Structure 1
Amino acid sequence: MDDFMRRYIQDGQTSVANYLLDNFRAVGMTTDQLLVYIQLRREMDRGVLMPDADKLAKKLGWNQQRVYQVLHEMIENKLMTIESVTTSQGQSQDAYDFRLLVEKLSQLSVQEKTVVAEAAKQAETTDRATVFGQIETEFGRPLSPLEMESINHWLDDDHYKPELIQLALKEAVLNQVYNLKYMDRILLNWEKKNLTTAVQVQRDKERQQPRRSAKPTTPGGEVPDVPIFKLTDN
């Protein structure tokens, strides 16, 4: 084994969580702070709990002042702390502690879920308002409290999607029937057929359309004239 491979293996590896690499900016960490963190992690994995700032500066190609500044920022931004620990020899020693950083990373998942939930709630509110507005527009009048309760029941209890209610409204308007009872019968009919989306309803309608029967033709390919008789003629 040549010297390079021997040194390559002996130097070992530093493990950095991909979640941190993906989200370091989200927790308020700068690129410089991330570089310092990686160098600190490298030394700490080797058992050096309080790496020397001068050594870090040489590894990064910085001066000591810049390293101290970044370390101070990391402490100030609650990305790390300096804690007193007891070594295996029973001695007390200062060490960098990154539990605050891990805690901030763990909160990101909670924040993401909250944002997604709020976005979904906002979208639901918007869809609900759209349904109410469209029905009032097509009916040409404000909805009564009882009608509003019926629509809320469709959305909250029957779990009909807004797009399905809007499609039922379209069917009612095409048939010039402007009341919720008619729409309710349409929705119930779709529910019995297990049609829960507008796409499924459209496909079902296409299947239900009767095929046009082919007209009989003469051997020459022309459609023969069929005389029409009125049964009431004498």
Structure 2
Amino acid sequence: MKKNQLVKWMSQKQVTIPALLLEHYTELGLNEHELMALLHIQSFINEGDEFLTPMQLSERMTLTHEECTKLLSKLIRSQLLSLEKKSDETGILYEAYSLEPLWIRFIELLDQKEHQTSQHESSELEGKLYKQMEQEFGRPLSPIEGETLSMWLDQDQHQPELIFAALKEAVISGKLNFRYIDRILFEWKKNGIRTTDQARAHSEKFRNQTQTRKSNKEPVQSDRVPGFSC
């Protein structure tokens, strides 16, 4: 076989392995032998052989027939491999291996890790928010203020970034108190403000309108929330 033909043949004989699986397979409870066995099973399935025998698996690995038998049984018990009943075009039943349980468990693991990362980042951001609040107020937050801040995050589901933005608006307006910040957040939520960019644009629009009114010597209510009419 010529070199270019060999390269083409090898490129067609591939088993796709997600890089994340190589990084996290131990978190699924897999060891190297079990991972390699699953990859061999996938290879057999790709080649049209959905039910390899322990002997076939042993021929591709450094394990005995008996060890491969135990390994396959363990993978099934661990719900990382399933043995399903299928039927061909003539209606004849046959058994086939499926790696669907592995991929389901793997996706669940990734979702869990993503959730944990999100919680960790949220916790860090919440801590920074408390610290920023205390810095702007120049004092520790009172128990009631701390409870209000927790309610904004947990009950009202305000994003920490928007609370930061509302705090800045309160500072700019010279009305640094929790009641005023709460009004800003309430109006933003009522008007569908979900991002800091939207909040910034809304506030800039309000300030421009306020400046125009002042230029025209129109009275401006001093207690209005930036970006909204009260």
Structure 1 length as normaliser, TM-score?
A: 0.56
Secondary structure at the aligned position of 2:121 is classed as helix
CA distance in 2, matches of 1:38, 1:96: 12
> Which residue is equivalent to 1:9?
9
Task: Read off the aligned partner of 2:162 and give its amino acid letter.
Answer: H
Q: Is the 8 A contact 2:82 2:99 kept in 1?
A: yes
Q: Is the 8 A contact 2:83 2:98 kept in 1?
A: yes
**Structure 1 residues 73-84: aligned runs within 5 Å:** 73-84=74-85
Q: Is the 8 A contact 2:38 2:99 kept in 1?
A: no
> Which residue is equivalent to 2:21?
20
Q: Is the 8 A contact 1:57 1:63 kept in 2?
A: yes
> Which residue is equivalent to 1:214?
none
126-135 or 109-118, which moves further after superposition?
126-135
Query: Does 2:64 correspond to 1:60?
Result: no
Deviations 1:46-84 (A, max 9, x none): 221211211211211221121112112211211011111
Task: Read off the aligned partner of 1:14 and give its amino acid letter.
Answer: Q
Task: Read off the aligned partner of 2:164 and give its amino acid letter.
Answer: K
CA distance in 2, matches of 1:11, 1:152: 57
CA distance in 2, matches of 1:125, 1:11: 50
CA change 1:13–1:145 in 2 (3 A) is same
Deviations 1:81-113 (A, max 9, x none): 111111234321111111111111222342233
CA drift at 1:151: 11
Query: Does 2:37 correspond to 1:36?
Result: yes
Query: Does 2:120 correspond to 1:119?
Result: yes
Number of equivalenced pairs: 175
CA distance in 2, matches of 1:180, 1:127: 18
CA change 1:144–1:83 in 2 (3 A) is closer
Secondary structure at the aligned position of 2:63 is classed as coil
**Structure 1 residues 1-234: aligned runs within 5 Å:** 1-2=1-2, 5=5, 9=9, 12-18=12-18, 19-131=20-132, 138-139=138-139, 143=142, 145=144, 159=162, 161=164, 180=176
Deviations 1:118-164 (A, max 9, x none): 1122113322333455568x54x7648479859998xx5993539x8
CA distance in 1, matches of 2:150, 2:87: 66
| CA RMSD, Structure 1 to Structure 2 (Å) | 4.4
CA change 1:38–1:144 in 2 (3 A) is closer
The percentage of counterpart residues that share the same residue type is: 12
Task: Read off the aligned partner of 2:51 and give its amino acid letter.
Answer: M
Secondary structure at the aligned position of 1:161 is classed as helix
Secondary structure at the aligned position of 2:69 is classed as helix
CA distance in 1, matches of 2:143, 2:21: 54
Task: Read off the aligned partner of 1:121 and give its amino acid letter.
Answer: S
> Which residue is equivalent to 2:221?
none
CA distance in 2, matches of 1:147, 1:28: 42
Q: Is the 8 A contact 2:129 2:164 kept in 1?
A: no
Q: Is the 8 A contact 1:79 1:100 kept in 2?
A: yes
CA drift at 1:5: 5.0
Structure 2 unmatched runs, 5+: 153-157, 181-199, 205-230
Structure 1 unmatched runs, 5+: 169-178, 185-190, 194-234
